[in-house]
Structure formats: C-alpha cells, structure tokens
Structure 1
Amino acid sequence: MAYYRIQLNDGSSHTLQAVRMRTDASSLYLEERAAGDWREVFSNPIDDVERVQRRFTENDGTWTWLQERLPAPVGGVRAW
C-alpha cells in the first residue's frame, strides 16, 4: 500500500495509507481493498485540497515525497 500526504487549503495535513486514490466531481477519496470490496480510508471536498503527495522509498531507505496529479473524475454511469 502506498502512503499519501493530503495537504488542505486550511494548512492541515493528513498522511494515510491507501491502495488507490480516486475523485468524482466534488470529492477526493483514498481507498483500500478489504474482502474483495473497496473501503474508504479518507474523503474530502476536492476544492479544499491544496496538494497530494505520494511517498516513495529510495534504495538507501530514505523517503521522497512526490506530488501526484489528481485522477480524472469517475463518472456515476457505466456503459457495459
């Protein structure tokens, strides 16, 4: 699982572990997979999110935080 650091416009920061990050038209979600289902770890209105970073571990064991782009919103309707 990846570590994400979510920095909000109010100056607060949240560091969380999640399998995936997704968005819809209004919110950012971090989710984990449990028993075959996706479970929400964190959600926040997307307008309040200043920056999202993902943690990478270097070969020497140090951490590097790289800025992530927000994924494209997932639509509510699927065409099968």
Structure 2
Amino acid sequence: MAHLQLVKQTSSGLLLPATPESGDFLRSVKIGEWIHADFKRVRNYAFHKRFFKLLQLGFDYWTPTGGTVTSREQKLISGFVNFL
C-alpha cells in the first residue's frame, strides 16, 4: 500500500503530489486507471502541541500536593502506633 501526500494548489480542485515519492507513484499509474483512497487531513502540529501543554498545566494545577492526612493527624497516628 502506498502512502501519498497530495496538496490542493488550484481552485479547480486538482490534487498535486506534495513529495517526490508521491510523484513517482502517480507517474507509475496508467492514464485511466482507477485508484481508491481514504483521505484525511494532517494535524496542525502547533495546535496539537498547545493542546497537550494545556492538559499538562491542568494536571499540574489540580493534582493535590499533600496527602489526606494532616501533619497533626500523622503525629497522633504515629504516637498511637508507638504506644501499641
């Protein structure tokens, strides 16, 4: 299976090869030959990077820094354990 990278450069909707490898593959296809493809857009890298940085910020902000036991309670528990 070939992976092609095509770019739309004209207003008529014509897709042109974006890489030399894509151009080589398209030259090997005969005129009139049918090919089937599933198209998807490439992700915007800058947006993707910002989104995951925002997730990291949210995780850092809402992650609790302390435990559920306060230092005073911890002292009481430690004293009780030493008593036993």
TM-score of Structure 1 vs Structure 2, range by shorter chain: under 0.3
Structure with greater helix share of residues: 2
Structure possessing the higher radius of gyration over alpha carbons: 2
For normalisation by structure 1, the TM-score amounts to 0.25
Q: Which has the higher contact order (CA 8 A, sep 6+)?
A: 1
